C-alpha cells in the first residue's frame, strides 16, 4: 500500500495536474464541437475531484461554465446534436449522461 501512495504522490498526481494545466491552456475552441465539450467536462471533473489543489476552483468553474455553454450551443431544442449525425449525438449524449456530465 505504501508503494501505491508513493506512486500516486510522486508520479500520477503530478501527471494529472500537468495534463490538466495543458488542457486548460489548449482548449479545442477552434472547432467548437464535441471535442470542446469533452475538454470542458474533463476540467470540471478535475476541479470537482481534486478540491484541495489550488487550481481546482478555476478548473471547476471554467469546466462547468463551458460545458453548460456548449451544451446550449450544440444540443438543439429537440435534443439532437447540431451536427445532426447519430454518431455525434451518441457521443455527446454519453458524455452528458455519464457521472460528472
Instruction: Identify the CA nearest to 67 among candidates 41, 96, 97.
Output: 41
The predicted-structure confidence for 11-50, as pLDDT tens digits, reads as follows 899 999 999 999 999 999 987 788 898 999 999 999 999 9
| pLDDT number for residue 101 | 47
User: Residue 70: in which H helix or E strand, if any?
Assistant: helix 56-74
C-alpha cell at 39: 475538454
| pLDDT number for residue 2 | 58
Dihedral sign, Cα of residue 71, residue 86, residue 95, residue 101: positive
**Which pTM does this prediction carry?**
0.83
Average pLDDT over all residues of the chain = 87
| pLDDT number for residue 48 | 94
- CA dist list (Å): 29 to 22, 26, 66: 14, 8, 11
Phi and psi at residue 66, to the nearest 5°: -65, -40
**Selected residue with higher pLDDT from 71 and 1:** 71
Q: How far apart (Å, rounded) are the C-alpha atoms in residues 6 and 68?
A: 37
Amino acid at each position: 500500500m505504501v508503494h501505491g501512495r508513493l506512486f500516486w504522490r510522486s508520479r500520477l498526481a503530478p501527471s494529472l495536474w500537468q495534463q490538466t494545466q495543458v488542457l486548460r491552456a489548449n482548449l479545442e475552441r477552434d472547432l467548437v464541437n464535441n471535442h470542446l465539450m469533452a475538454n470542458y467536462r474533463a476540467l470540471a471533473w478535475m476541479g470537482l475531484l481534486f478540491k484541495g489543489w489550488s487550481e481546482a476552483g478555476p478548473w471547476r468553474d471554467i469546466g462547468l461554465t463551458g460545458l453548460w455553454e456548449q451544451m446550449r450551443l450544440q444540443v438543439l431544442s429537440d435534443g439532437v446534436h447540431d451536427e445532426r449525425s447519430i454518431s455525434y449525438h451518441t457521443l455527446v449524449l454519453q458524455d452528458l449522461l455519464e457521472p460528472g456530465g
